[in-house]
Amino acid sequence: MAQKNRKTRYIIAFAAMIVLLVLLFCWNVGAGSVEISLTDFVHLMQKRDADDTLYQIVWKIRLPRILAAILLGGALSVSGFLLQSFFQNPIAGPYVLGISSGAKLVVALVMIFLLGQGINISSFGMVASAFVGSLLAMSFVLLISFRVSRMSLLVVCGIMIGYICSAITDFCVTFADDSNIVNLHNWSMGSFSGMTWDNIRMMAVLVGITIVITFLLAKPIGAYQLGESYARNMGVNVKALRVALILLSSLLSACVTAFAGPISFVGIAVPHLVKHTLGSAKPLRVLPGCALGGAAFCLLCDLIARSLFAPTELSISSVTAVFGAPVVIWLLVRRHSGEGTV
């Protein structure tokens, strides 16, 4: 009976997330300075008239932005889940631990150097730079984690790493001469605007392959969650799995930062909300939930960011922080009060 109830809960939860994602997709397509109904959208996609202004708005601006929010939102949420599994604590996340800021710093430095030489950086170059930055920041976090026993101290150290990286990035961008470099300020604050179909293809390949590999590792990750000794007894190569968790989470964080800049709290809040919704922490169930939940969460936040004070657009990171930060506070309070283990 209990197993049947759990199965029903999973079906309802995933159905609700899919319906929410579809509704938010339609809402994002239609909302804006030029409102487009669902009927108009279907008609535009069937007609595909390149000279039609509405078609250009949908095809070149709104759809790439929506798909970027879906792909990168899912990637950020899955990255957060991997980091939480690695550190055995749901307070861990790519933004809080400074990993996103490290990626941002290296991307900004590479772009400033190349643009100063008159060279435009490719999408692959941005992701590669962000990946290097993510790994460097992760290395610092790992060194600190070996010397501190309390997760709260690790979080504080991660936040400090993030502040240092952000300060260096802002300093470099502020004193840059090239107008293209100065425009990096908007990217450094986090935004899904300005996406192209080439960007979407690149992120779809990277995020898709990484999430598939992560899903294939679901069972070893589940064993690792129960402790290293248990995982070893189950035949899991713990060292290889830890390296895989670092590389996969860093690659997903790098992809998000390269295309949209740093986005706060999604990697912490969404996995925890998904676990509570499903009533399970098993990777086989949580991973697809994180992908769907992260996509829906970022679609909602992006809609608010571009619509609330239109035509002025808010930083996506500011909106995600409003919804995500309270979850982090609740986790810290819950840990301190001893109501649960994190």
The residue among 311 and 283 whose pLDDT is bigger is 283
Task: State the average pLDDT for the chain.
Answer: 84
Which CATH fold would you assign to the domain 68-337? ABC transporter involved in vitamin B12 uptake, BtuC (1.10.3470)
Q: What's the CA angle centered on 252, arms 178 and 106, to 5 degrees?
A: 30
Q: What is the largest CA-CA distance in the chain?
A: 67
Residue 153 pLDDT grade (very low, low, confident, very high; cuts 50, 70, 90): confident
Q: Which of 98-112, 129-143, 164-178, 276-290 has the lowest mean pLDDT?
A: 164-178
- Give the tens place of pLDDT for each residue, 51-110: 677 888 888 889 999 999 999 999 999 999 998 888 887 777 888 788 888 888 898 888
What does the angle CA 262 – CA 205 – CA 46 come to, to the nearest 5 degrees? Answer: 100
Instruction: Give the span between the Cα atoms of 263 and 93, in whole angstroms.
Output: 11
pLDDT for residue 205 is more than 90: yes
d(CA 93, CA 104): 15
Taking the complete model, does pTM exceed 0.75, yes or no? yes
From residue 106, give the alpha-carbon distance in Å to each of 13, 61, 112, 151, 159: 39, 27, 10, 26, 17
| pLDDT above 70: residue 156 | yes
pLDDT at position 313, please? 82
Query: Burial letters for 28-46: b for 16+ Cβ neighbours within 10 Å, e otherwise?
Result: bbbebeeebeeeebeebee
Question: 312 or 136: whose pLDDT is higher?
Answer: 136
Tokens 């990171």 belong to 317
For residues 86 and 310, which has the higher predicted lDDT (pLDDT)?
Answer: 86
Query: What are the CA-CA distances from residue 185 to residues 153, 170, 257, 322 (Å)?
Result: 30, 8, 13, 21
Interior angle at CA 305, CA 24 and CA 132, nearest 5? 95
- Residues 6+ away with beta carbon under 8 Å from 202: 123, 124, 127
Q: What's the pLDDT at 342?
A: 42
What is the reported pLDDT for 4? 77
| The pLDDT of residue 338 | 54
**What band does 183 get if pLDDT is binned at 50, 70 and 90?**
low
**Average pLDDT of span 223-243:** 87
The predicted pLDDT at position 119 comes to 77
- For the ranges 178-182, 202-206, 300-304, the lowest mean pLDDT is seen at 178-182
Both structure tokens of 105 = 């710093």
Instruction: Give pLDDT, residue 341.
Output: 43
| pLDDT for residue 186 is more than 70 | no
Measured from the Cβ of residue 223, the count of other Cβ atoms closer than 10 Å reads 20
CB neighbours of 299 closer than 8 A, spacing ≥ 6? 21, 24, 25, 28, 66, 69, 70, 73
What is the band of 268 on the pLDDT scale with cuts at 50, 70, 90? confident
